[in-house]
Amino acid sequence: MTRSSRVPSLGPRGEGWVALQFVLLIAIAVAGGLFGGAWSGAAQTATLVVGGLLIVGGLAVAALGVRDLDRSLSALPRPTERAVLVSHGVYRQLRHPIYTGLILGAVGWSLARASLVGLVLSAVLAIVLDLKSRREEAWLHERFADYGAYAARTKRFLPGIY
């Protein structure tokens, strides 16, 4: 079944989505350095701890996603010719664990650096990755006949929620 998407491809394999994602990640990293220190005292200590935990958690989730994808790994949203549908490991709980990890890491960095600009950019990153995942899923539906059943039972970014 062919499934169309209103989300633009931004290139034959979605190269524009990857470029946008990397620009935002760099901007978030820079914002933490240039625009950090928005709060102090107990709030800064609390957000440093929470931010650190989010960074570690995000790295772990993303690393599991990379490991489980194995030969299907690609930064580009259109699946490669050698790709297989992965629904084991962390992909049993999340359709896009690497994107989840990137979002958690970006929010964690922004909190740890006390950067309001970083938090706003992290929200923009979450929107971009949501759109990128929708474009990717349209291509996955075209490529794998059983993707619809997998998507129906597995949440996109947050287990049991979204």
pLDDT range class, residue 114, cuts 50, 70, 90: very high
What per-residue confidence (pLDDT) applies to 147?
97
Q: State the residue for tokens 């990137």.
A: 102
Classify the phi-psi angles of 34: left when phi > 0, otherwise alpha if psi is within -120 to 50, otherwise beta: alpha
End-to-end CA distance of the chain: 24
Residues 35, 117 contacting (CB under 8 angstroms): yes
What per-residue confidence (pLDDT) applies to 38?
86
* DSSP bridge partners of 94: 155
Q: State the residue for tokens 């619809």.
A: 148
70-110 pLDDT tens trace: 999 999 999 999 999 999 999 999 999 999 999 999 999 99
35-47 pLDDT tens trace: 888 888 999 999 9
Q: How far is CA 74 from CA 22, 41, 44, 116, in A?
A: 14, 42, 37, 31
Position with higher pLDDT, 3 vs 112? 112
Angle among Cα 78, 106, 100 to the nearest 5 degrees reads 45
What per-residue confidence (pLDDT) applies to 5?
76
Q: Which helix (H) or strand (E) holds 126?
A: helix 116-143
The average confidence (pLDDT) of the chain is 95
* Rg of the chain, C-alpha, whole Å: 17
Tokens read off for 64 = 């599991």
Tokens read off for 31 = 């914002």
Residues 151, 85 contacting (CB under 8 angstroms): no
What per-residue confidence (pLDDT) applies to 1?
42
Q: Tell which residue, 31, 16, 34, has the closest CA to residue 132.
A: 16
pLDDT range class, residue 3, cuts 50, 70, 90: low
Mean pLDDT of 115-119: 97
What per-residue confidence (pLDDT) applies to 4?
63
For residue 11, pLDDT beyond 60:
yes
Which domains does the chain possess? 15-75+84-153 (1.20.120.1630)
What per-residue confidence (pLDDT) applies to 40?
86
Residues 20, 77 contacting (CB under 8 angstroms): no
Let me know if 158 is exposed, middle or buried by CB neighbors in 10 A (0-12, 13-18, 19+): exposed
The pTM assigned to this predicted structure is 0.94
